[in-house]
Structure 1
Amino acid sequence: MAVDVTWLGHSTVTVDVHAPGGRLRVVTDPVLRAGLGHLRRRPRTPAASASQGCDVALVSHLHHDHLDLPSLRRLRPAVLVTPPGSSDWVRWRLDRPGTHVVEVAVGQTRELRVRGRAVAVTALPAHHAGHRTGSGFSRAPRDAVAVEHLVRVPGAFPARDRDDLLLWAIGDTGEFEGSDDVLTAGGRAPDVALVPVGGWGHTLGPHHLDPRQAAELVARVRPGVSVPVHWGTLHPVALGRTMGDRFSAPGPAFVAHARRLGAGGALDVGVGGRVRLDDAAQVRGMSARRRPTSPDEGP
């Protein structure tokens, strides 16, 4: 049995749980197009096979680079988890009767049944604006908030004493007091953390984590594996050449900071790269740019 974590770019990650009863696929903040609005994608757009068959899709907030309606229509998830205050609007705009749309309030846990499998989703607070740009035009709710998601999948590792998978999908956040409350919510450190370490613009501002801040968060929480996301993918139209090293530096910088702080398990796999966790507590990273690595190897 194993869990595969594949970064498809920006905050989009597929998490495949291979366990008795078949595969369960979770996809975070799906953006599966070459561009959206004023943003363009530099890495190759992921093939449909990289995300199809989605059982649970998680949306952290309503910003266009996290909630992309055309991508969600293409994805056709069985269950779509939205942030608080947004499910009715998302259901209306998505217009996909085959997708069950639910929302999870901050501090709440929803128990889902997906293809006979139990999945628990907890929403945690984030320090980030959650409303949609141009909400007056789109009639999106102005009071929607941004959240992080903690996902528990029982039976993911049947050979372990603790057989559940704990997945921490941070989405988008800046620093705030209580940012490590995931430990209380989960009862232990997550197995996998998807950690935002950059952005798509030339500046980040207080509502995002830079590589050092992200590494400090990981050093406090100590997840088993930390994958840097939300970097190296999107850029404003016609400004791709002005991004400097923002397409190459944040991921390796995060890994270097994390290791300097003594936080193991930080792996920069690159867009299209994969991390595998197995029942024997072994972790292997298959980078899109280089040979497989273990958490103890250099970036």
Structure 2
Amino acid sequence: MSVDVRWLGHSTVTVDVRTPGGSLRVVTDPVLRPGLAHLRRRPATPDPAAWAGCDLALVSHLHHDHLDLPSLRRMRPTVLVTPPGSSDWVRWRLRRPATHVVEVAVGQTRELPTPCGPVQVTALPAHHAGHRTGSGFSRAPRGAEAVEHLLRVPGAFPGRDLDDLLLWAIGDTGEFAGSDAVLAAAGRAPDVALVPVGGWGHTLGPHHLDPRQAAELVARVRPGVSVPVHWGTLHPVALGATMGDRFVEPGRRFVREASRLGVAGAVQLPVGGSLSV
């Protein structure tokens, strides 16, 4: 049995889980195109083999760089978990009846069927705007929230005392009181954390984590493996040459800061790179 984590760029990560009951492919915040809205992608677009056959997609909020409808239509996940207050709109815009669209409210846990058996998804609070830019034109719900997701996959580690896989997909957030709520929800530290450490622009506002803040968060939670995401991929149109070291430094700095704080398991992946847990 194994768990493989592959970073496809920005906040898009594929997690493949093989259990005695079967296999499961999870993809977070899928963005699979060379450009969207006012953003362009510098690394190559992901190989379809890295995301095809998605059983469960987790979307943290409605921003274009996290909820990309063309990518979701192309990927056709079997189950799509959307942020609170958005499932009806996503279902309408997605136009994929074969995809089961559900939403999970903050503090709520839902059990979902998958090829390897039932899994549980819990929504946790995030300090980030959840509405969609241009919602007046797209009719997107203005009250949609941004959330983090905790995924529990039973039986992923047979023979271990605690054999569940706990995946913490943070999505996007800034610092806030209770940012370590995942510990209470999970009952222990997660096995894998997908941690935002940057952004796509020249500055970060208070609703984002920089590498130091991200390292301080994982120092409080102590996940088994922490992978920096939400960096090194997108840039505004015509401003790619002005991004400086933002395509290389945030991930490196996160790993350095985590090491300084005595956190083991912080691993920077190249776009398209993977690790096994």
Give the shorter-chain TM-score range. over 0.9
| Corresponding residue for residue 122 of structure 1 | 122
Code of the residue aligned with 2:181 in structure 1: it is D
| Corresponding residue for residue 41 of structure 2 | 41
| Corresponding residue for residue 213 of structure 2 | 213
Q: CA deviation at 1:19?
A: 1.4
Percent identity (aligned): 81
CA contact (8 A) 2:24 2:116 kept: no
> TM-score when scaled to structure 1?
0.92
3-state SS of 2:118 partner: strand
1: CA distance, partners of 2:97 / 2:269: 36
| Corresponding residue for residue 176 of structure 1 | 176
What are the residue-to-residue correspondences of 1:222-233 with 2, within 5 Å? 222-233=222-233
| Corresponding residue for residue 101 of structure 1 | 101
List runs of 5+ in structure 1 lacking aligned partners: 278-299
1: CA distance, partners of 2:256 / 2:203: 21
Code of the residue aligned with 2:111 in structure 1: it is E
Q: Deviations over 1:206-257 (max 9, x none)?
A: 0000000000000000000000000000000110000000000000100000
| Corresponding residue for residue 16 of structure 1 | 16
Residue 25 (structure 1) aligned with residue 25 (structure 2): yes
What are the residue-to-residue correspondences of 1:1-299 with 2, within 5 Å? 1-115=1-115, 117-277=117-277
3-state SS of 1:217 partner: helix
2: CA distance, partners of 1:115 / 1:228: 28
2: CA distance, partners of 1:115 / 1:168: 20
List runs of 5+ in structure 2 lacking aligned partners: none
Q: CA deviation at 1:22?
A: 2.4
> TM-score when scaled to structure 2?
0.99
Q: Which has the higher contact order (CA 8 A, sep 6+)?
A: 2
Code of the residue aligned with 2:145 in structure 1: it is V
2: CA distance, partners of 1:220 / 1:21: 33
1: CA distance, partners of 2:20 / 2:219: 33
1: CA distance, partners of 2:170 / 2:275: 17
Runs of at least 4 residues off by over 4 Å: none
Q: Deviations over 1:79-130 (max 9, x none)?
A: 0000000000000000100000000000000001113511100000000000
Alignment root-mean-square deviation, CA: 0.6
Code of the residue aligned with 2:197 in structure 1: it is V
2: CA distance, partners of 1:70 / 1:156: 31
Code of the residue aligned with 2:86 in structure 1: it is S
Code of the residue aligned with 1:215 in structure 2: it is A
1: CA distance, partners of 2:21 / 2:166: 19
3-state SS of 2:162 partner: coil
2: CA distance, partners of 1:21 / 1:197: 34
1: CA distance, partners of 2:219 / 2:275: 20
Code of the residue aligned with 1:59 in structure 2: it is V
3-state SS of 1:133 partner: coil
3-state SS of 1:114 partner: coil
Code of the residue aligned with 1:272 in structure 2: it is G
1: CA distance, partners of 2:269 / 2:143: 36
